[in-house]
Amino acid sequence: MTLLELRDVAKTFGDTIALSPTSLAIAEGSFVAIVGPSGCGKSTMFNVIAGLLTPDGGDVLVKGERVNGTTGHVGYMLQKDLLVPWRTVEDNITMAKRLTGRVSAADREEARAVARQYGLGDFLRHYPTALSGGMRQRVAFMRTLVTHQTLLLLDEPFGALDAQTRLEMQQWLLQVWRDTGRTVLFITHDVDESIFLSDRVIVMSPRPGRVVADFANPLPRPRTVDTLIEPAFIDLKTKVMRLLHREDA
Amino acid sequence: MTRKILRNVGVPILSFVLLLLVWQWVVVGFHVASYIAPRPRQAFLAVTQNWSALWPLILGTIRETVYGFFVGAALGLGLGVIMAKVPVLQRIVYPVLVLSQAVPIIALAAPLVLILGFSVTPKVVIVAWIVFFPVTVNVLDGLTHVDKDLLNLARVYGASRWRTFIHIEIPATATPLFSGLKIGATYAVTGAIIGELAASDGASLALYQEHANANLNTAAVYGTTMVMTAIGITWFLLVVGVEVFATPWQRRTVARRWRRR
């Protein structure tokens, strides 16, 4: 079943075509990676889907409903964790509820359960400044999870982490995704990351921002570090790299 | 922890003692006449021996300082918020606020007495006049520099503007707000004394000092200055105390036990 659909969605800033008319359908429960260099319109596309930007043309549909320029229908996470320093880990996880209604005892219990399940149970009463970058991103992701949105938009969430931590976080994300069955749209400029995580790799290109390829990812799950050296991985990586490189030439 | 307390409390006390020593040393060493500058002990005694006369005056000054501070702080916060939220208003109001601070405060006292009489009100107005400005400037600055991505995140969640304001923008402005309040707190007592000088018909701490000066009671003059300073410092420390209490995340890694939501 299609959860998210873009129909000829376009966005222009002044003379710059940030996103030329783009159509896309994302199946519920899938993990789709969007890879491309900076300026290819991937973040613009995200902000249009999230409702922060209104498209100049076309429609954004979530579960068949037109949501152009409205918010409240996605979970959303950026490279910046955006944890607020004045709230504890537990209170950061429940932030969405606090901003839209009342944080109930059940919400708090859920936050604690999620944190315990994913290894942050001992840090519930800590302020975010006490946490490492990887831990902060995990808290940010938990905050996104408890919004109970089926569609999660992740914009380079691990971009600021060191390679070791990033690999751990990627495996952790796959585990959470498997546990919760959400639909993930994952932006990255790291080709390895896009292939390692996804069911499907969408390649975008700048000037004007557009989709240039849409690959099904044949790699079996679960994925491990060994996945990174499988022939199918290398094969897909080669295709994506050629597309990205052609643009540079 | 003990080291920290020692550093935060011990060092200021030490520098205060040092100041008294320098005072003592200058007065004694240079044979300064007692009608020009008393020794610290004399100034201190001038306060304690006249405590029963001074205490009501001190209370009066404290009242003016505190009332004026709260009026100024509330006004400053309100103006900062309004200007941050309505940019047009910011362009109109901000120059007027700057102008308000260019007016020599002492020149303001006379018209205030004409308008408000000799009550506590003109003193409160002068204190508020001094206090609101740093608060407004800091709050405005804080509110306009809240992380845009954080505000976008709140929008993505579907948060209302009011809730975003209460749960994101206000706490994000806590640090600059307290900076403004601390600056205001140090100046508040100055405002109260200026008000007392210009707008007192009866008893006040400022007039008490003038009186002592006229009577060549130098020890009392210095003693009163010390009292005024003590009021200022105490008020400043109280504001710092409130800040420490209200922004635990700046010093702690783990929230206090009893702190629920």
Q: How confident is the model at residue B5 (pLDDT cuts 50, 70, 90)?
A: confident
Q: Are residues A214 and A142 in the same domain?
A: no
Tell me how far apart the alpha carbons of residues A67 and B158 are, in angstroms, rounded to a whole number.
Answer: 13
How many inter-chain contacts (A to B, CB under 8 Å) are there? 73
Residues A64 and A88 placed together within one structural domain of the fold: no
Q: Are residues A221 and A159 in the same domain?
A: yes
Pair A157, A58 in one domain? yes
- As a whole number, mean pLDDT of residues A221-236 equals 91
Residue B1, pLDDT > 80, answer: no
Residue B260 pLDDT > 80, yes or no?
no
Q: pLDDT tens across B117-141, in order?
A: 888 899 999 999 999 999 999 999 9
Last residue of a domain, one of A148, A165, A186: A148
A1 pLDDT more than 90: no
Pair (A54, A155) in one structural domain? yes
Task: Inform me whether the pLDDT recorded for B258 exceeds 70.
Answer: no
Q: Which of A82, A122, A152 to mutate to test the interface with B (most CBs of B within 10 A)?
A: A82
Tell which of A120, A148, A176 closes a domain.
A148
CB–CB of B254 and A126 under 8 A?
yes
Residue B154 contacts A where some CB pair is shorter than 8 Å: yes
A240 touches A215 (CB < 8 A): yes
Q: Which of B147, B152, B153 to mutate to test the interface with A (most CBs of A within 10 A)?
A: B153
Average pLDDT over residues B56-61: 95
What distance in Å separates the CA atoms of residue B66 and residue B73, rounded to the nearest whole number? 10
Structure tokens at A159: 């971009």
- Give per-residue pLDDT as tens, A103-139: 999 999 999 999 998 889 999 999 999 999 999 999 9
A157 chain-B contacts, CB cut-off 8 A: none
Question: Is the domain of A139 the same as that of A172?
Answer: no
Contact A45, A34 (CB under 8 A): yes
Q: How confident is the model at residue A83 (pLDDT cuts 50, 70, 90)?
A: very high
CATH code of residue A43: 3.40.50.300
A45/A5 Cα distance (integer angstroms):
12
Domain count, chain A: 2
Q: With an 8 Å Cβ cutoff, are A51 and B156 in contact?
A: yes
Lowest mean pLDDT among A7-21, A27-41, B56-70, B190-204: B190-204
| Of A59 and B109, more confident | A59
Contact B167 A96 (CB under 8 A): no
Q: Which chain B positions have a beta carbon within 8 Å of A74's beta carbon?
A: 156
| A236 lies in the same domain as A201 | yes
The answer to whether the CB atoms of B253 and A51 lie below 8 A apart is no
Task: Out of B163, B171, B255, name the one closest to residue A84 (CB).
Answer: B171
Residues of B in contact with A82 (CB under 8 A): 147, 149-150, 153
Mean pLDDT of A208-231: 91
Q: What percent of chain A has pLDDT over 70?
A: 99
Domain that holds residue A196: 2-74+151-248
Same domain, A155 and A238: yes
How far apart CA B241 and CA B244 sit, in angstroms, is: 5
Interface contact A88, partner B, CB < 8 A = yes
Summarize the confidence of residues A149-177 as an average pLDDT.
Answer: 92
Q: Could you say which of A117, A148, A179 is where a domain stops?
A: A148
Q: Are residues A123 and A242 in the same domain?
A: no
Residue B70's alpha-carbon distances to A47, B77, B131, B226, B235, in angstroms, are 43, 10, 9, 24, 12
The Cα A47–Cα A115 span in angstroms is 28
Same domain, A21 and A114: no
Q: Cα dist. A111→A62, A128, A242, B207, B249 in Å?
A: 26, 15, 43, 62, 20
pLDDT digits (tens, 9 = 90+) for B85-106: 999 999 999 999 999 999 988 8
Q: Considering only CB atoms, which chain A residues are within 8 Å of B261?
A: 91, 103
- Considering the domain architecture, whether residues A209 and A244 belong to the same structural domain is answered as yes
CB contact under 8 A, A129 and B153: no
The answer to whether A78 faces chain B, any CB pair under 8 Å, is yes
Same domain for A24 and A69?
yes
